[in-house]
Amino acid sequence: MGFLNFHGHNSVSFNGHDKPAIPVSLSQYIMHYLYGANEPLILKSTDKILDVGEFGEGEAQEKSLQKFKAMSANPALQFLPHGIVMSRNAAKNVLDFVYYVEGATNGARLAVGPCICQRALEKYPNGLTEPEIKDITLFYSADIYLDLGIGFKEITNDEAKDILDEMHNRGYLHNAMYMFQKTNALFVMCNCDANICAVQRGARLTDNTDAKGPEICVRDASKCKGVKECGKCIDRCFFGANKADGDEVIFDQNKCKGCELCVTTCTGKARELTIRDDYEYEDLMSKTLLLAGKYGYERMVPYER
């Protein structure tokens, strides 16, 4: 075992579709390792600010909001995680890319472990008493989190896809997270809940419209069954894109980030995903990867392992 579980040319970083993975530099690996080791402290500090911003009152709440917005805009803190929201199919394409395309020749791995936010904050959803096993680390970050001793284990692609299915059914959001604002620092496929995940709470608190994925929901209003008979889209949406007006569901497409949660639970079959024209992250993760096998994009073919 290498230094800090660093595997040299087999600790590889994401380089985007149609480009092979390359070994991550030792300096980036160490910086990311230090972040991983200190992530619980960072999350606890952020959680305190978010709690006041969400649940505080008056001047204290306003100060907390302004503090969080200043932190989010601070250039010195842009190394912290940023994400791209995506549908379940797009998330599975990322796993295929890591496991079959990159892993076949370059040593990329997948590992899963307890939700970092839930573990650090000791907050759990739905009456649970311990963190859910749902954070899927990718590429060199799998090496890091396996070494941190916090319950991560290496898994197969099929096992990772089963986790995505289970988390989607629970109403969790698939979010591919980057460090350092760099293409080669993709490190985890988060499955975020609405009430504990620091990234999603922060985005909601500041009405942040970033992180929109390559797809967007379109709706046939004539098929919508309304709030009383269905209304599941309102409950499932993280971003306030669906709101009730009496028994009518008002859909604000501008707020949609393409997570698919409303699409798969719409009992009227009134919703579907389509390609987003204004996708802004082509340089980080291309549509040819995320949408492989859909909309006319070529399906990825696994290498023999």
Token representation of residue 255 = 């707020």
- Domain boundaries 215-275, corresponding CATH code: 3.30.70.20
Q: Please state, in angstroms and rounded to a whole number, the distance separating the CA atoms of residues 203 and 289.
A: 25
Token representation of residue 54 = 């969400």
At 4 the three-state DSSP class reads helix
Q: Please state, in angstroms and rounded to a whole number, the distance separating the CA atoms of residues 173 and 171.
A: 7
Lowest-pLDDT choice from 49-63, 68-82, 136-150, 194-208: 68-82
Domain with CATH 3.30.70.20 in the chain: 215-275
| pLDDT (0 to 100) of residue 303 | 56
Token representation of residue 274 = 């389509």
> What's the length of the chain?
305
**How does pLDDT run across 215-244, given as a tens digit for each residue?**
999 999 999 999 999 999 999 999 999 999
**How does pLDDT run across 30-64, given as a tens digit for each residue?**
999 999 999 999 999 888 888 887 777 788 888 87
Do 99 and 108 touch, CB atoms closer than 8 A?
A: yes
The CA-atom distances, in angstroms, between 62 and each of 42, 173, 205, 233 are 21, 28, 11, 30
Tell me how many degrees the CA angle 51-54-55 measures, rounded to the nearest 5.
75
The CA-atom distances, in angstroms, between 221 and each of 87, 125, 251, 252, 297 are 22, 33, 9, 12, 28
